[in-house]
């Protein structure tokens, strides 16, 4: 049985991925954000919408609850007939 030996292309690809991951971390975005990947569930979302959505999804539940409460204080409840 032979061992797999990574060639120069694989090593360069791994290095590039690490660089992109580091850049995304510094910028506070995901790799998907950095690469401009669309969110399938929201095809009309702006890039800012996508960044916010991805940040929101990664938050702990308690922080999401606080965001929803703050939005309700600022803009009212969506239960008030302002449904989209």
pLDDT of residue 10: 52
* pTM across the whole model: 0.45
Q: Is residue 84 part of a domain?
A: yes
Q: Are residues 69 and 46 part of one domain?
A: yes
pLDDT given for residue 12 in this prediction: 63
Residue 67, domain extent: 38-84
* Tens-digit pLDDT profile for residues 38-84: 666 777 878 888 778 878 888 899 999 999 999 899 988 776 555 44
**pLDDT tens, position by position, 6-30:** 555 555 666 677 888 888 888 777 7
44 and 82 in a single domain? The answer is yes
For 49-53, the CB contacts below 8 A with 24+ separation are: none
Contact in structure between 20 and 31 (CB atoms under 8 Å): yes
């Amino acid at each position: 049985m032979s061992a797999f030996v990574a060639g120069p292309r694989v090593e360069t690809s791994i290095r590039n991925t690490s660089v992109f991951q580091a850049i995304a971390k510094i910028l506070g975005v995901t790799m998907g954000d950095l690469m401009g990947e669309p969110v399938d569930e929201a095809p009309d979302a702006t890039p800012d919408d996508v960044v916010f959505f991805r940040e929101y999804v990664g938050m702990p539940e308690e922080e999401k609850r606080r965001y929803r409460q703050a939005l309700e204080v600022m803009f009212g409840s969506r239960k008030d007939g302002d449904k989209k």
